[in-house]
């Protein structure tokens, strides 16, 4: 579980970047695209297709077509219903620049695709309203003027001026050119409850090194002067030994 200080650091980072007009892409349990939502994942794949997937077949249009049938009809569609789904996708999924506004595209997606589908769906799903959450959270009027680009929305955030905000745990398996670890103070990590438990100390140390090794080129560790975590000291000593 993340400590309160870590969560405060995340909120401050998000707010500060918003004031500067820099979009923030959450990659933790508050991520814009919910991985447990078939609708959210479908919208993301459609975005990936229009900003370049149509050229690379990543994802394939056939995948979008089958996913749409499953979402709307549960896989038991008639030939006419399948043709209608295909026509709607072909009409809407027009290749576009990755710098286009995600908010505007999502509004169009809901109006032209999801709303008509929801009106005739034969499936029961609590995930259809996830798109409303995505629309609200990408509204530049609510994000200090930061308009999330399509490339950032569909995961192509490298070099697009976005900040990826994540907890240590949620960063597993991912890599970034530059990583900044915030709040690496001795009263934050390890948590005070862990200091008397060797197993918890080892678990926190592993998470710290997971975060450290997400960086491909640059690593920045931020802490209060004179109050750095013991893990930061161990990391520094290790880098000096390798020189």
Report pLDDT digits (tens) over 85-97: 999 999 999 999 8
The two three-digit tokens of residue 142, written as one number? 């609510």
pLDDT band at 8 (very low <50, low <70, confident <90, very high): very low
Angle at 202 between CA 197 and CA 206, to 5 degrees: 150
Mean model confidence pLDDT for the chain:
80
Distances (CA, A) of 76 to 30, 43, 68, 80, 81: 33, 21, 12, 12, 10
pLDDT number for residue 165: 72
Residue 155 φ/ψ region, left for φ over 0, alpha for ψ in the -120 to 50 degree band, beta for the rest: left
Q: What is residue 23's predicted lDDT score, i.e. its pLDDT?
A: 56
Summarize the confidence of residues 157-170 as an average pLDDT.
64
Bigger pLDDT: 130 or 61?
61
* pLDDT confidence tier of residue 137, bands split at 50, 70 and 90: confident
Residue with the bigger pLDDT between 11 and 132: it is 132
Q: At 10, is the pLDDT very low, low, confident or very high (cuts 50, 70, 90)?
A: very low
| Rg (the chain; Cα; Å) | 21
């Amino acid at each position: 579980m993340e400590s309160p200080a870590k969560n405060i650091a995340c909120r401050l980072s998000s707010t500060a970047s918003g004031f500067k007009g820099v979009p923030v892409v959450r990659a933790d349990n508050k991520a814009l695209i919910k991985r447990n939502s078939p609708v959210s994942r479908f919208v993301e794949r459609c975005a990936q297709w229009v900003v370049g997937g149509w050229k690379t077949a990543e994802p394939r249009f056939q995948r979008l077509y089958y996913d749409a049938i499953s979402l709307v009809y549960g896989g038991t569609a008639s030939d006419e219903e399948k043709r209608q789904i295909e026509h709607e996708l072909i009409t809407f999924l027009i290749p576009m620049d990755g710098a286009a506004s995600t908010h505007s595209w999502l509004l169009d997606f809901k109006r032209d695709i999801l709303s008509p589908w929801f009106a005739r769906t034969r499936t029961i799903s609590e995930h259809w309203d996830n798109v409303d959450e995505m629309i609200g959270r990408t509204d530049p009027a609510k994000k200090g003027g930061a308009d999330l680009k399509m490339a950032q929305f569909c995961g192509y955030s490298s070099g697009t001026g976005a900040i990826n905000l994540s907890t240590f745990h949620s960063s597993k398996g991912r890599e970034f050119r530059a990583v900044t670890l915030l709040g690496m103070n001795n009263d934050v990590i390890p948590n005070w409850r862990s200091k008397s438990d060797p197993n918890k100390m080892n678990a926190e140390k592993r998470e710290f090194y997971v975060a450290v090794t997400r960086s491909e080129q640059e690593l920045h560790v931020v802490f209060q002067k004179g109050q750095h975590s013991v893990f930061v000291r161990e990391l520094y000593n290790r880098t000096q030994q390798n020189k």
